[in-house]
Amino acid sequence: MVLAAEESLRLDANLVDYALVAAYFAVVLLIGFAARSRVSDSLDFFLSGRSLPAWVTGLAFISANLGAVEIIGMSANGAQFGMATFHYFWIGAVPAMLFLGVVMMPFYYGSKVRSVPEFMRRRFGTGAHLVNALSFALAQVLIAGINLYLLATIVNALLGWPQWISLIVAAAVVLSYITLGGLSAAIYNEVLQFFVIVAALLPLTLIGLHRVGGVGGLIDSIRDSGNENDLSSWPASDLTSIDNPVLSVIGIVFGLGFVLSFGYWTTNFVEVQRAMATKSMSAARSTPIIGSFPKMFIPFIVIVPGMIAAVLVNEVQELKAGGDPGVTYNDSILLLIRDVLPNGLLGVAIAGLLASFMAGMAANISAFNTVFSYDLWQQYVKKDRPDEYYLKVGRLATVGATVTAIFTALIAAGFDNLMDYLQTLFGFFNAPLFATFILGMFWKRMTPTAGWAGLVSGTLAAVLVWSLSEVGVIGLEGQGASFVAAGAAFVVDIVVSVAVSMVTAPKPVSELAGLVYSETPREDRTDPEAHRLPWYQSPTKLAGISLVLVIALNLIFS
C-alpha cells in the first residue's frame, strides 16, 4: 500500500493534540497492567479464561479487523469507486459473520478446541493441521509487519517522526500490553479502540458532510464532477474490472460474498479466537452476530469520508480527474483530516488512527502466539509439559513475533509491491479452508487424506489462476482476478476432497463426536440455558434481525 510520504500530509498538531494521543497510550498500558493481575494459567492468557461477555467480544471481533488496511484501504476505495465499496461490508462481511455464529460456532466452541487449527487436527489429523497452522502463523507475522509498517509510515507522515523510531515505539507498546495481559488485554484494548475510532471518524464524517452541504450537497457534487457511477453500488464494474454487468454481479456475490468472505470470517482464527473467549455457547455464537451490527454501519464513517474527500480535497479531486497531484487514493482520509479538523479533534483523530493500526497488529500477534504455543510447539516440539511452561512459551512467542514484525516492516519499507503480492497470496489460503471446513463439518465420510489434499490443491488452484491473470493470460485484473481465483480454489478443493475421500479410509465414527454435525449430540452444540435467555441474547433471533437490516441497507443504497 503506497502513501505519499512527503510534507503534503503533515498535520499541524499542537500540544493539546499530543496530550490527547498520550492519554490514549497511557490508558492502553493501564489495561495491560490491570489484565496482568488476572492471568493465572495458560487458558487465561490465550483464551481469557473463557469468561468475557458477548458485547465485549463482539466489539473486539469487529475491532480486530478494523486495522490500517481497513480504514485507509476502504476510504481509498470510497474515494476511487464510491458506493460500490459498500459491498465489502454488506455482501463481503455481514452474511459470513452471521453464518459463523449460527452454523459453525457450535462446533468450534462445543468441541472445546483452543484454536481453529486444533479443530483441523481433531477432524483431519496432523497433515491438514500442519498445512493450516504453519500457513496461518506465517501469515500472521507477515500481516503484523505490514500493519506495523503502515503505522510507522503514517506516524512519519503525520508527525514527522523518523520511521525507525515510530516502528520501535509502536512495537514496544503492543508488545508490552500483550505480554502483560494476554488475550484479555488485547480484547479490552480492542473494545476501547473501537470507541476511540468512532470518536475520531464520526465527527470527521459529520463536519465533512457539513462542508459539502449535507448528503444532498455530496450527491450533487459527485454528479457535477461527472462521477455518476460512484452513486450506485451495482453492478460495480469499476471495482471488479469486469465490464459485463451480469458477470460483475456474479463476481461480487459468489467471489466476494461467498468464497472470499466466508473463507476469511469463518476460518480466520484472529476473528474466531474472540468468540472462543466467551463464557457460554450462546455468548460465543452471539459474538460475530453482535459484531455484525456495528460492522454494517462502519462504512458510513469510513467509506463516506473517502467520497467526501473526492469532492472536497483539491489533491484527490485532481487525482480523480486523471491528474497527478503527488498523492494516492490511500491518502484520502488523511487529507480530509488535514483539511477539516481543528486542533483538539485532530488529536482525537490521530489517536483513533494509531489505535486502529495497533488493533490490527495486536490481533495478529495474540492469535499467532496461541497457534504457535498450542498447535506448533506443544503438538510437534515439546509435549506434556506443565501449564506454566506453555504460558512462558506464549510470552516468548509474542516477543519473537513482534521483533520479526519489525524486520518484516523494514522489508516492506523497501519492497512495497512485494508485500501487496504476499498479502494477496495469503488471502488465497482462506478460500480452500472454508471448503474443507464446511465439507468436514457436514460429511462424516470425508477422510484425513482428503483434508490436506483438498487444502493444498485448492490453494495451488488459486495461485495458478491469479498468476495467469497477472501475466495477462486471463483477461482480468484487480479485484475481479481475486474473486475468480478464490472461486477456483473453492471448487477445486471440493472436487479433490470428494474424489480423494472415495478412495481413502475415513476416520472411525466414534472419533468424530463434536466435530461433525451428524455425530454430535444435540446438547453438545446447543446451550442448555438458551431457552431462558431474552430475545436480545438469543443468537438466532439476533442473526435474523441483522439479516433483515443488512438486506434493507443493500436495497436502500443500491
Partner 1 sequence: MSTSSNGHDAGGAPATGGRRTAGAYDVRVVIAGLIGLYGVVLIVLGIVDYGAAEAAKTGDVNANLWAGIGMLVFALVFVAWTRLRPVVVEDGEAVEDPTGGADTAGR
- Binding residues (CB under 8 A) for partner 1: these are 16, 19-20, 23-24, 27, 30-31, 34, 37-38, 49-51, 53-56, 188, 191-192, 195-196, 199, 203, 207, 210-211, 279-280, 283, 286, 339-345, 348, 529, 537
Q: Which amino acid is at 497?
A: S
Cα angle vertex 491, ends 488, 497, to 5°?
Answer: 130
- For cell 454488506, the residue is 90
Nearer to partner 1, 196 or 218 (CB): 196
- State the minimum distance, in angstroms, from the CB of residue 471 to partner 1: 47
DSSP structural state of residue 230: G
Q: Which is nearer to partner 1, 48 or 447 (CB)?
A: 48
Tell me whether residue 366 or residue 457 sits nearer to partner 1 (CB atom): 366
Q: Which of 210, 201, 228 is nearest to 306 (CA)?
A: 201
Residue in the structure block whose three cell numbers are 488485547: 186
Q: Which three cell numbers stand for residue 303?
A: 467509506
Question: In this complex, which beta carbon is closest to partner 1, that of residue 23 or of residue 172?
Answer: 23
Question: Could you say which DSSP state residue 161 is in?
Answer: -
Please identify, using beta-carbon distances, which residue of 339 and 477 lies nearer to partner 1: 339
Closer residue to partner 1 (CB): 56 or 516:
56
Residues in Cβ contact with 497 at an 8 Å cutoff, skipping those fewer than 6 apart: 435, 436, 439, 446, 450, 451, 453, 454
Q: Report whether 310 contacts 79 (CB < 8 A).
A: yes
**How many residues are recorded in the chain?**
558
Start-to-end CA span in the chain (Å): 29
Q: Are 9 and 343 in contact (CB under 8 A)?
A: no
CA atoms of 231 and 301, how far apart (whole Å):
16
Chain position carrying cell 461433525? 516
Nearer to partner 1, 178 or 191 (CB): 191
Buried b (16+ CB within 10 A) or exposed e, 298-332: bbbbbbbbbbbbbbbbebbbebbeeeebebbbbbb
Q: Which is nearer to partner 1, 50 or 541 (CB)?
A: 50
Give, in order, the Cα–Cα distances in Å from 328 to each of 72, 148, 273, 325: 11, 20, 35, 8
- CA-to-CA distance for 315 and 423, rounded, in angstroms? 28
Q: Give the shortest CB-53-to-partner 1 separation in angstroms.
A: 4
Phi, then psi, of 52 in degrees rounded to 5 = -85, 145
Smallest gap, in angstroms, from Cβ of residue 335 to partner 1? Answer: 13
- Closer to partner 1 by Cβ: residue 60 or 137: 60
- Cα separation of 45 and 49, whole Å? 7
**Nearest approach, Cβ of residue 464 and partner 1 (Å):** 46
Q: How far is the CB of 548 from partner 1 (least distance, A)?
A: 22
Q: Using the CB atoms, write b or e for 76-94: b if 16+ within 10 Å.
A: bbbbbbbbbbbbbbbbbbb
130 versus 284: smaller Cβ distance to partner 1: 284
Nearer to partner 1, 34 or 219 (CB): 34
Query: What's the closest the beta carbon of residue 65 comes to partner 1, in angstroms?
Result: 19
83: number of CA atoms within 13 Å, CB side?
A: 18
3-class secondary-structure state, position 103: helix
Q: By C-beta, is 207 or 411 nearer to partner 1?
A: 207
Minimum separation from the CB atom of position 15 to partner 1 (A)? 11
Smallest gap from residue 526 Cβ to partner 1 (A): 14
Q: Taking the complex as a whole, how short is the minimal distance between the CB of residue 211 and partner 1, in angstroms?
A: 5
The DSSP letter of residue 508 is P
How many CB atoms are located within 10 Å of the residue 164 CB?
14
Q: How far is the CB of 38 from partner 1 (least distance, A)?
A: 5
Q: What's the closest the beta carbon of residue 104 comes to partner 1, in angstroms?
A: 21
Helices (H) and strands (E) in the chain, counts: 24, 0
Smallest distance, Å, CB 16 to partner 1? Answer: 6
Q: C-alpha distances in angstroms, 338 versus 8, 154, 335, 515?
A: 9, 13, 5, 52
